[in-house]
Amino acid sequence: MSNSLPHDQFLDASGLECPMPLLKTKMALKALAPAQVLYVLATDAGSWRDIRKYVDLSSHELLDAKVVDDAYQFWIRKGV
């Protein structure tokens, strides 16, 4: 798995089914300081839509998102 962007925390949500990847992403972001970056790895196809939609509706910033070998990767900078 390529984790090409620097990040402060890694969340492995592999094998979890909807809505767990999104819920764990929200909890992990809550624990970070503003401007820190969370790298999320998920395998549930719904997370591609759910996590991106959540970030769009929040103060967080999606730095990058990729699909590699049936895995979904997200780099999210925590907003204020």
Q: What is the pTM of this model?
A: 0.93
In the chain, domain spans: 9-77
Please report the pLDDT score of residue 3 as a whole number: 56
Rounded distance, CA 49 to CA 45, Å?
8
Indicate the pLDDT class of residue 4, thresholds 50, 70 and 90.
confident
Q: Give domain 9-77's CATH number out of 3.30.110.40, 3.30.70.920, 3.40.640.10, 2.30.40.10.
A: 3.30.110.40
The residue ranking higher by pLDDT, 80 or 23, is 23
Please report the pLDDT score of residue 30 as a whole number: 97
* Catalytic member of 18, 32, 62, 71: 18
Please give the angle made by the CA atoms of 21, 46 and 36, to the nearest 5 degrees: 40
Q: Is the pLDDT of residue 1 over 50?
A: no
Q: Is 9 tagged catalytic?
A: no
